[in-house]
Structure 1
């Protein structure tokens, strides 16, 4: 199964509590990390693929190699093969470290890397997976799944924020637990509900 998520910001102390970007009521970054890992592994199986659309972690420790090692060890605890799309808080040095220490899961690399984005097809739709929202305009059967804007929502029905703080989760009858990636069936539910909401505004 395919899942999508974004903006986990592992280790990031600055997003704790209520901020301009998110509402993360955790005791500390360790508590946040552990909750995300637990909630992630509740839904993602080892054989699944998760597209992470950027801002994996914000972890300023020295030397930088220690930061990379900490993030690597955390990502090893997450179920699934990970396709990592670079966000504004991710750097090439981290991706190089992960690539150097890559290993096989289910006969595939644990980590795959995309600098700009990825294109996948599901249920007669094309999904452009990017960190930043892309303003595609009104195009049939093309949806931009993105992160970056945390608890905001792009005011077009073609853009779906799949970040862990997303306001687009309000379109779901049952919101995911914090940090749980979304499978594409749930993404479809958001798309349809957001479309219906926009039709009511006409």
Structure 2
């Protein structure tokens, strides 16, 4: 049975991610080493039949051909939620479904006691639809700079050893995080 994994901010082909001027420069010598390491980590975490929701910034400042050459190396059926760097390039790649800006995702993975609804966006939200009815919020964009809460979490590769993450691991990290702010 396929699992659902989530990720964001791979930034394939984006050389500036390695710059010491970045708030959190990535620890790779070259963009090729970066991209190869992320592909290896991805394929170690994701099986070929798994579903992957990529929450934006798949690739940037590289050619369509280069981004597509990375994409075909990745396991799973990949969906894209558009990030700020996906306008143009990300929109032109082939995905498992239409590119969207936000998406309510329902996950029922093997071993999970119940189906979980997730509000997925590239950007962190203070509140989201169904927040007070059990939906959890997952996002990217912040590269780990926004602390997790018991209901909201960054799923970007910077936070998860460069790889997509399962809902079980997300729930485990959320359980150890502080509660969210009071209802608005």
When normalised by structure 1's length, the TM-score is: 0.76
Partner of 2:110: none
CA-CA distance at 1:24 after TM superposition: 1.1
CA-CA distance at 1:155 after TM superposition: 6.2
Partner of 1:112: 97
Instruction: Tell me: CA distance 1:59–1:118, structure 2 relative to 1, closer, same or farther (3 Å).
Output: same
Distance 2:32 2:175 in 1: 36
CA-CA distance at 1:15 after TM superposition: 1.4
CA RMSD of aligned residues (A): 2.1
Aligned 8 A contact 2:55 2:120 in 1: yes
Q: How many pairs align? A: 170
Partner of 1:186: 169
Alignment of 1:54-65 (within 5 A): 54-60=56-62
Structure 2: gaps (5+ residues)? 108-113
Q: 1:136 aligns with which of 127, 133, 138?
A: 127
Is the aligned partner of 1:150 residue 2:131? no
Instruction: Tell me: CA distance 1:21–1:112, structure 2 relative to 1, closer, same or farther (3 Å).
Output: farther
Instruction: Tell me: CA distance 1:198–1:128, structure 2 relative to 1, closer, same or farther (3 Å).
Output: closer
Partner of 2:54: 52
Q: 1:91 aligns with which of 87, 92, 109?
A: 87
Partner of 2:158: 165
Distance 1:155 1:162 in 2: 10
CA offsets 1:100-155 (integer angstroms, 9 cap, x no match): xxxxxxxxxx5323321211223343201110111217624121100001121246
Larger Rg: 1
CA-CA distance at 1:185 after TM superposition: 0.7
Normalized per residue, the structure richer in strand is: 1
Distance 1:94 1:161 in 2: 20
Aligned 8 A contact 2:150 2:176 in 1: no
Aligned 8 A contact 1:120 1:126 in 2: yes
When normalised by structure 2's length, the TM-score is: 0.83
